[in-house]
Amino acid sequence: MTLDAQILSSLRETDGGPVSGTDLSQKLGISRTAVWARIEELRGLGYEISASPHQGYRLMNVPDVLHADDLLARLPRKQIIGRDIHVFQETTSTSDVVERLARDGVKEGVVVFAESQTKGRGRLGRKWLSPARKGLWFSILLRPRLRPQDATQLTVASGIALLRAIRGHTGVEAVIKWPNDILVGGRKVAGILTELSAELDQVKYVILGIGVDVNLNASDFAPELRKIATSLKIETGKPIASRAELAVRILCELEHDYARLRAGNFLEVADEWEKNCATIGQRIVVQLGRRSVRGTAESLGEDGTLLVRSEHGHLEKIAGGEISVES
């Protein structure tokens, strides 16, 4: 952990209580002057840290910024997802950054956040709106031991993890739409883009790109998007005070479901996913390039594909594409 992360985690441990400069300097193995310099640096980033000569430092307020050290300090030590975190003020796409790290052989679990993206991308070649400091735009590098045809399991696991985190943090009644859009009141509030590099029988790495519309206003969306997209702020009627807290919750939920996958418990994950997926049981049309399949979404297959009973009675395995629900 970096010095800043250690300072922030020590200040948090006392729940708003003071920590003396001497204690910090002993814990970190640096001089009290060096502690003071780090505190000044953190103040410059917007952290309100009070200092009193007798009691020491207190964390009074945390700004709504994403700070790699702060995020690291809030995560459990042994966690894989978030073992290393980078935050960019702006980048093209966080998934581009993670791809470069993947090619350089970086270990799984690294997470790259950006306060804004200039070329955010969504599924099916769509653009992903990523305005500065209004959302959570991040990508995660994973190196799961999966066959390429089972990679959909990861999509399913990340969808249910994201749903749990959003519901738990905000209380909104969110549901999943196949494959892993998170909808509130029928409008999309978050999405996941899974990109994969694989050999014939083994996944090399997966880039999980996650976008959550946190504090966007209706005016941030283009008029044609307003009918289909929303944000947590719009749905709860108030801004989400700490995007960092929500980010940490998402990373912890993802860790939980990634562990379930690694332990071979995909069926348990799939079961939870099915119970929370608005698509199951619905009559749908799946657009797969030029081909379309019309039928009823029955369940999730063992490999994570959607099983659709077609109009002709066949069971079709759907691994991607765009679905619309028929009324």
* Chain positions contacting ligand BTN, by CB under 6 A: 93-95, 117, 120-123, 126, 128, 130, 137-139, 181, 191-193, 209-211
Name which of 109 and 191 has its Cβ closer to ligand BTN. Answer: 191
CB of 47 to ligand BTN, least distance (A): 25
Strand locations in 166-304 (E): 174-177, 181-184, 187-198, 203-213, 283-288, 291-300
Nearer Cβ to ligand BTN, position 39 or 151?
151
CB of residue 43 to ligand BTN, shortest distance in Å:
30
Nearer Cβ to ligand BTN (9/93): 93
Chain position whose Cβ is nearest to ligand BTN = 191
Tokens standing for residue 286: 């799946």
SS3 assignment, position 290: coil
Q: How far is the CB of 160 from ligand BTN (least distance, A)?
A: 15
Q: Biggest alpha carbon distance in the chain?
A: 79
User: What is the token pair recorded at 51?
Assistant: 């200092």
Residue closer to ligand BTN by CB (options 57, 137) is: 137
Residue 47 tokens read as 């952290």
Tokens standing for 227?
A: 């009918």
Smallest gap from Cβ 181 to ligand BTN, in A, equals 6
**Residue among 139, 145, 137, 162 at smallest CA distance from 276:** 162
CB of 121 to ligand BTN, least distance (A): 4
> Half-sphere exposure of 315 toward its Cβ, with a 13 Å CA cutoff?
7
**Strand-strand pairing, 56-61 and 84-91:** unpaired
Among 281, 273, 280, 285, CA closest to 324:
285
Select 39 or 192, whichever has its Cβ closest to ligand BTN.
Answer: 192
